[in-house]
Structure 1
Amino acid sequence: MAILEVNGIQKDFGSTQVLKNVSFTLEEGNALAIIGSSGSGKTTLLRCLNFLDSPSRGSIEVKGETLFDASWQASQKEKNLRLKRLHFGMVFQSFHLFPQYTALENVTLAERLLAKERTDFKQHKRDIYEEIDEHGKALLEQMGLADRISHYPHQLSGGQQQRVAIARALALKPDILCFDEPTSALDPELTGEVLKVIRGLATQKTTMIIVTHEMAFARDVADQIIFMDDGMIVEQGASKQVIDSPREERTKQFLTRYMEG
């Protein structure tokens, strides 16, 4: 059974259709890469999946539960929106770390805030916080940042900041980890260290959706690739098939232009 089912998503901004009847499924433990030119709708799709934007039409299901249906009344769409977002972890292009917090504090902040809602929080506050901090340290160690837990964002390189952002996204144990062009703000030297982390997550069968302009990376790491153009899915298939032997002429044109560029 698919962990994610996206059915007929459309997103309108005024009279402009940015997403047009987008449908796909994602199996648990798989990585899906989304490629396409700037303005093709990739980031908007990711924002709709994370409920940062509300689709104009369509539905989103995770683990068989309908989290969003555009036919619902507005009150239903907004109900438990924060809980719905917990199904997805989001890693943005520009890190979005809190500059006043250390690496560890950035990773553990959301978990600490959620812990306050636990019925046993007042009774076991110290133990709960210690457990959260240990979890945060383990995630930073996984990212190769064990020696940077007390550093502030301005003391970290761009690649290190993005790895902190990945640890933060993993902290709440989301069903699906989403990346919005995670290397676009990095120079080539730092790009490699972030891609290495994502490769490791793929090896561990972390369910991921990766919007990326790194074609070779998408081919090697993703199980499936979606190519989008003008708000639509033009082609979808196994990663090596889409990159090496695209079936659609528009996909061929995009890849040829990318390789020549």
Structure 2
Amino acid sequence: MLEVQNIEKSFGPTKVLQDISFSLERGKALAIIGSSGSGKTTLLRCLNFLETPNAGRILVNGETLFDAADRAAKSDAEIRRRRLHFGMVFQSFNLFPQYTALENVMLASLMLAKERPDYKQNRHAIHEEIENHAIELLAQMSLEGRMSHYPHQLSGGQQQRVAIARALALQPDILCFDEPTSALDPELTGEVLRVIRSLADQHTTMIIVTHEMAFARDVADHVLFMDAGVIVEEGTPSELFENTQNERTRAFLSRFSQNN
């Protein structure tokens, strides 16, 4: 489904990503691990077109979404279309505080619906369809009783589950998680990890940037270890965690186990 070819990204003289290449099959979960500052979040932001790579190509379902060799300016509408391939769940929820949980999940779908040529004449039916879909997603997140709550009335775990429902609302090809539990305490972390595990069981195609090593080992089909902007080692969870070949990977896993 996804092919990332030779992606590079620099901020000024600092190279943050260097020659990043990997692929992801439909229905599989990819975990990306590594220390802070290794480029994991920047990679996700490049995939979601929140950052523009300096080099490389990104393809989804055989369609080239980005090619650094093509310098032609892209319209905002075209960038929005390309972003629809990816659903993004951020570290700090990023919910709109003035909207309820249900409204947060509906918002993007309603904005896109207004671009449809039939929106004016079918506005009420379209709105009802979007609302029913949002209700289903929030129920899937076990938030049936929290739909009318505003973000400040929700726990961190509940807010993150709303954010996951929002990311699913547009039915993306690939769901991306950027350290989704880093802002949560252990109890709330468990809530969110159970939801992600359930999505993996449903064969949702996912990229998960995480510091939860046990979770990555249990849920991911493939794991990348990044350090200093490069992919140092990759493989199945058993290969990476139990039969590590690279000294930098071993050092990272050893430090992480000591700190936990």
Q: The TM-score by the shorter chain falls in which range?
A: over 0.9
Q: Which runs of 4+ in 1 moved over 2 A?
A: 76-79
TM-score with structure 2 setting the length: 0.98
1:205 aligns with 2:203: yes
CA 1:119–1:203 in 2, change beyond 3 Å: closer, same or farther? same
Mapping of 1:186-201 within 5 angstroms?
A: 186-201=184-199
Mapping of 1:129-144 within 5 angstroms?
A: 129-144=127-142
Q: 1:176 aligns with which of 174, 177, 180?
A: 174
What's the counterpart of residue 220 of structure 2?
Answer: 222
1:126 aligns with 2:124: yes
Name the amino acid aligned to 1:43.
Answer: T
List runs of 5+ in structure 2 lacking aligned partners. none
Hey, what's the Cα distance between the residues in 2 that align with 1:114 and 1:78?
13
Q: CA deviation at 1:76?
A: 4.5
CA 1:246–1:77 in 2, change beyond 3 Å: closer, same or farther? farther
Name the amino acid aligned to 1:244.
Answer: E
Mapping of 1:1-261 within 5 angstroms?
A: 3-76=1-74, 80-261=78-259
C-alpha contact 1:69 1:77 (8 A) present in aligned 2: no
Hey, what's the Cα distance between the residues in 2 that align with 1:165 and 1:59?
28
Hey, what's the Cα distance between the residues in 1 that align with 2:169 and 2:229?
32
Hey, what's the Cα distance between the residues in 1 that align with 2:120 and 2:102?
22
> How many corresponding residue pairs?
259
Q: CA deviation at 1:74?
A: 3.9
Hey, what's the Cα distance between the residues in 2 that align with 1:103 and 1:65?
34
Hey, what's the Cα distance between the residues in 1 that align with 2:251 and 2:15?
23
Q: 1:184-209, CA deviations, whole angstroms, 9 ceiling, x for partnerless residues?
A: 00000100000000000000000000
CA 1:157–1:80 in 2, change beyond 3 Å: closer, same or farther? same
TM-score with structure 1 setting the length: 0.98
Name the amino acid aligned to 2:159.
Answer: Q
List runs of 5+ in structure 1 lacking aligned partners. none
C-alpha contact 1:176 1:209 (8 A) present in aligned 2: yes
Q: CA deviation at 1:240?
A: 2.1
Hey, what's the Cα distance between the residues in 1 that align with 2:241 and 2:68?
33
SS of the equivalent of 1:121 reads coil
Hey, what's the Cα distance between the residues in 1 that align with 2:33 and 2:72?
32
Q: CA deviation at 1:118?
A: 1.4
Q: Cα RMSD over matched residues? A: 1.0
Q: CA deviation at 1:79?
A: 7.0
Hey, what's the Cα distance between the residues in 2 that align with 1:132 and 1:97?
18
CA 1:214–1:49 in 2, change beyond 3 Å: closer, same or farther? same
Q: 1:210-233, CA deviations, whole angstroms, 9 ceiling, x for partnerless residues?
A: 000000000000000000001000
Hey, what's the Cα distance between the residues in 1 that align with 2:75 and 2:151?
35
Q: CA deviation at 1:239?
A: 1.4
